[in-house]
Structure 1
């Protein structure tokens, strides 16, 4: 906690309750933590395409991180209280910018608090730093990439939402229900064990045993957030050609010509 190059990033956020994350940060957080907001800090404004949480402009994101005291030599430890879903999004964004020294704290803030580790309401002074961008475009899949994968099977499409949303039985958020044709369902929460901790490598390898290690894989969810734990899990399990479709389902359905499938894939 007291090493000068370590930055704790509090990334608690609740969909539909955008002020809740900052309020919980103000009530208590890990000492030295900065707060980053999913929609205000780490997403671009919503437009016709790009999904509900469009990727931020890389230069704008780098500027925001630098103002928060995150520099090119920082080690970032991200945490949330949503099963590591939001923290994983920050992990992906930083890796996309070319920053390797970023980690997700196992379990969540509540586990930290329940273990009686230090909690404070003090907000640290943020000393601006310098953050260099070395963009990693190979981590990102475009809607055209997804269209090709859906049509030809050129890559495995993984839908990270829960089974009922994947099957089109319910859709509480987006305008259409269902999934991208050809996609298979791996619910993101299944990367965690019964105690809410990340599964070990062997368990993750078993989870993805039907996939080939050399397969190209494109992962999506509703808006590019809850897909990120699956991206981490696949990397931990030894998969090396994994891309995120950042706009995800909410971007897919914004194009009139894109097909929608329901039920289970054979």
Structure 2
């Protein structure tokens, strides 16, 4: 059996010594980019590898391509192979930020054609609460050959601009409601949102303990957000193309497939003063 959206702590624990499974720790903080490696070294799920949000899951910033531009596909594929991901590997990814970073790697793997990837439902907190062990022992990873088979899951700023406030795109912004409104903007230089976007805070997909809401509940909520639009015209964005991926996970759990990501998101959009902004 393969897992493509979520996997619970008990199932992960039963596969910790399975050579066909690989757990990946992607803990990260925007204000302390050394945080993830530091806490990984102090304690992580046994056997887990570590990938860094900036170095591994993002490309180089140019000042106009957003705060977390996508990595080069071949470079990413090489890195994924180095840590032991092959064609049949079941990947489990976790963080301690309610899936915000884990969703990025989930999306990247699917973008490169690898479906066997799931979030540890509830992240590290649920793992520990369920009695899961932590270790500071670094794993011995056996390299694999990862062959990228890219999919069309991405749109760019030109695509968004051409379809603003039309039926050909249903834009969903995953940032907090205050930032969506243009209030309390402390991360990007401009406050507001892309005209026509609707707001679905990524944390609204979760239960109080950080696990995802049941599929039927997510489906009902997302159908209300879609307001009659088909899933394949949905474009997700956030501040920098990271937390938006959690909304894509939620739609997948809900059985609403085919949406795409505007990876540059608000940080890329607002870097061009010629692009329209709504507050």
Structure 1-normalised TM-score?
A: 0.95
1:181 counterpart = 2:198: no
Matched, 1:146 2:160: yes
| Equivalences for residues 96-135 of structure 1 within 5 A | 96-135=111-150
Please tell me whether residue 14 in structure 1 is matched to residue 29 in structure 2.
yes
The answer as to 2:5 corresponding to 1:27 is no
Tell whether the 8 Å contact from 1:148 to 1:154 is kept in structure 2 after alignment: no
The secondary structure found in structure 2 opposite 1:209 is helix
Runs of 4 or more off by more than 3 Å in structure 1? none
Aligned to 2:11: none
Residue-pair matches, total: 261
Shift of 1:28: 0.5
Separation (CA, whole Å) in 2 of partners of 1:149 and 1:125: 48
Assess if the C-alpha contact under 8 Å between 1:153 and 1:182 holds in 2: no
- SS class of match (1:76): strand
1:170 corresponds in structure 2 to 184
Aligned residue runs from structure 1 range 13-92, under 5 A: 13-92=28-107
Q: Distance in 1 between matches of 2:198 and 2:102?
A: 24
Structure 2: distance between partners of 1:141 and 1:227:
13
Deviation of 1:50 (Å): 2.0
Corresponding residue SS for 2:268? helix
Mapped partners of 2:80, 2:184: distance in 1: 37
- Residues 173-182 or 207-216, more deviating: 207-216
Provide structure 1 residue ranges, at least 5 long, that are not aligned to the other structure.
none
CA RMSD of aligned residues (A): 1.2
Which one is further off, 221-230 or 203-212?
203-212
Q: Deviation per CA, 1:63-93, whole angstroms, max 9, x where unpaired?
A: 1111111122211000000001111110000
Q: 1:151 Cα deviation (Å)? A: 4.6
Match for residue 212 of structure 2? Answer: 198
- 1:2 paired to 2:17: yes
- 2:126/2:209 contact within 8 Å kept: no
Q: Is the 8 A contact 1:156 1:217 kept in 2?
A: yes
TM-score under structure 2 length normalisation: 0.91
